[in-house]
Amino acid sequence: MNLFRRPLYVIAAAALVFGASAIAQQTPTPNLPPKPVANVPAPAAVQVPVPPPPDVDGKTWVLMDYATGQILASKDADVRVVPASITKVMTDYVISAQIASGKIHLTDQVSISEHAWRAGGAGTDGSTSFLKLNSQVPLKDLLYGMIIQSGNDSAIALAEHTAGSEETFASLMNAYAKQLGMVNSHFVNASGYPVDNHYTTAHDVAILTRALIHDYPDDYAISAIKEFEWNGIKQGNRNTLLWRDSSVDGVKTGHTAEAGFCLDASAKRGDQRMIAIVMGASNEKARADSAIALLNYGFRFFETHKLYESGKPLATPRLWKGEEDQLPLGVQQDVLVTVKTGDYDKLKATMDIPSTLIAPFKKGQQVGTLHVTEDGQPVLDVPLVSMNDAPQGGFFKRLWDSILLWFHGSDKK
């Protein structure tokens, strides 16, 4: 029985009947699928054929759904590569985090050191904001210069202002990368200038981009600005997709001889957002063509569904030795799943809950796991948590439940 397709009143009735039986027999609730929220669209009546992903000019690449973080298509997603100026997305994230924590401010006046000034000079592949040596520049303008103009000098000046030195700032970059789960990344500088032991992966860049969009949306919005002028020089954003597709609103380009042409792109159409990462393309046009092809593929052939809402009980198993006889379990965040168009009816959910639950439990404490599969293959696992505090009952309540559990051989406390 696939409960994703059963009427809600049928599911509710079945749950009530089984609940009464379970309590009478003093047995735990089985691992039955919970019911989806009422506003989930019905499965497609006709199977929609989904072709393989488009050809991509790149050494490694990833297509990620923003809402779920699921990888929809990829090639060598976890192979370490040289990131070039894609590095500045990590620099941007650290700067945004430091601003949010009050450590630095958009109004700060930042001194342009010789190190930062030289980085914007000759041999930087044109990645400069044309900052003047020993000048004072508002942090906000440096942020714009780094994101829009890809200024190496802006990136280094921001790093030095934030952490005292670029080397110390790189330690911050690595600490934040670890927190985000970027397990195959290591940063040595803030600009992406080629050095040994400075690497990332297409998958890690997608994780970082998703975090930047979610955690600091106002800062992320800077990457959609098409041009920025500083020191009397106006420069355009190097992400050519901003001119080609109005749904594209970021994120960053990169290029060195070793890295090839790289592009971190994201677009939003309706309620759906996709992230496409292309690393090591053969030329500027190829990276843009490949990224937009991936984005179009994601929007056309995948759909995201909300399966369960946070704050609503998905199960109410028997609770022993508590003030209450049942323990409502649910999820802390809405459960979203992205599937190929027409594959919604292939989803199945089960709950893995211990057979005997004995009070006390704290609100938010994990008690079990919600498993979602598609055609028997795992899609995601979500913690099932206690929705309320569940303190122990009084002496006689605990005594009575202990007797019942002893008769059934289930007393674990």
**Residues noted as catalytic:** 85, 88, 150
Q: How far apart are the first and last CA of the chain?
A: 36
Provide the pairing of β-strand 302-308 with 272-281: unpaired
Residue with tokens 């280094």: 156
For the CA atoms of the chain, what is the radius of gyration?
Answer: 26
The tokens for 412 are: 């674990």
Tell me, what DSSP letter sits at residue 103?
S
Single out the residue of 88, 76, 65, 77 nearest to residue 238, CA to CA: 88
Does residue 200 contact residue 58 with C-beta atoms inside 8 Å?
no
CA distance 144 to 253: 14
CA distance 115 to 123: 14
CA distance 367 to 351: 11
CA distance 113 to 136: 10
3-class secondary-structure state, position 157 = helix
